[in-house]
Amino acid sequence: KTLSIRLKQGIFNLFNMSKALTNRNLPLAANKLQNSLRFLFGKGDWWKLNEILELEQEFGIRSVFHFHADSRRKTFRRWLFDPNYNIQENRIQTFIQELKDQGFIVGLHPSIDAWEGSGWIQDQKEYLEKNSGTEIRYCRQHWLRFSWRKTWKAQEKAGLRFDTTLMFNDRSGFRASAAVLRNPWNMEESRPHQLQALPSVLMDSHLNDYKHMEDDTRQEEIKYWLDECKAVKGEAAVLWHPHTLARDYGWMAGFKFMLQALNPE
C-alpha cells in the first residue's frame, strides 16, 4: 500500500464524494468520504496473490498474471501512475515460480510511458524474462495510454504476440463492437499485425468506482456482459486488480462471483 496509490484512490473517492453531494446523495457522499480517509490513513495488507491462486484453482480458472517490470529510476509521473513493487523482490519471485509450476501464464504490464515506442516495451519485456525465467508473449498496456496506430505496432516490434488492452476506461462493453480475437490492422503498412488482440469487456473499477451499485446489481452487470460473449460464442478478456481484494477496496465478492460465472462447468 504505497503513498502513490493512497493519494490516487483517496483523491478519487473525494471526487466521487463531491459528485454525490452535487446529486444530494448524502449516504453515498458519507461512504465516499469514509473510503477516502481509509485509503489515505489506514493500514492494510494488500498481498492477495496466493488467495487469488487458490480461488482460481477452486473454480477451474487459469488467468494471465501481468507484472510491471521496469528497471529505470522513477520519474514523478511513473511513481504516480505505475506500480511501485520490485519484480526482484523475493516474495514476488517465489510467486512467479508458483505460477509457472501450476501452468499459469506470466505477462507484461508495460509502464505508462511505453505506449508508442518499442524500445521501452522491449527493455521491460527482457527485464521480466530475466527475472521470471520464462518467455513473455502476453501483455496488457497501461489503461490510461493507448494508440490505435502506435501501441500494437510497438508491442509487435518488441516481440509481444498477444494483447488485451482494448476496452473502455470507465465503462463495461465492447469497444471494438465485437468479442473476437483478431490480428488488428497495421494502418501504416497496410497489413495485419502479427500480434493478436483480444478486447476486454469488463474491469473491476467499472463496477465499483465509476458506477455505484449494490452487490446484486453488480452481479447482474457481470453476468450480462459474460452472457453476451457466451451467446455469440465470442472471446473477450476481463481485468481484475489483485489489490482490490483487500479490505480497503472490498471488491472480493464481485471477484468471486465473476470466477463462478466464468467456471466452464
User: pLDDT, tens digit, for every residue of 24-74?
Assistant: 888 888 878 887 888 788 887 789 999 999 999 999 999 999 999 999 988
- Condensed to tens digits (0 to 9), the pLDDT of residues 143-180 reads 778 999 999 999 999 999 999 999 998 899 999 899 99
CB-based contacts of 189: which residues, under 8 Å, 6+ apart?
none
Q: Of the candidates 33, 30, 50, which has an alpha carbon nearest to the alpha carbon of residue 41?
A: 33
Q: How far apart are CA 55 and CA 93, in angstroms?
A: 20
Contact status, residue 63 vs residue 104, Cβ threshold 8 Å: yes
The model carries a pTM of 0.86
Which value, to the nearest 10 degrees, does the dihedral of the CA atoms of residues 26, 32, 33, 35 take?
Answer: 150
Distances (CA, A) of 260 to 55, 171, 178, 239: 10, 22, 23, 15
Q: What is the pLDDT of residues 213-234, one digit of tens each?
A: 788 899 999 999 999 999 999 9
Q: Considering only CA atoms, which of 145, 153, 157 is closest in space to residue 115?
A: 145
Eight-state DSSP code of residue 202: E
Element housing 49 (H / E): helix 49-59
Q: Is 105:33 a contact under the CB 8 Å cutoff?
A: no
DSSP 8-state class, residue 210: S
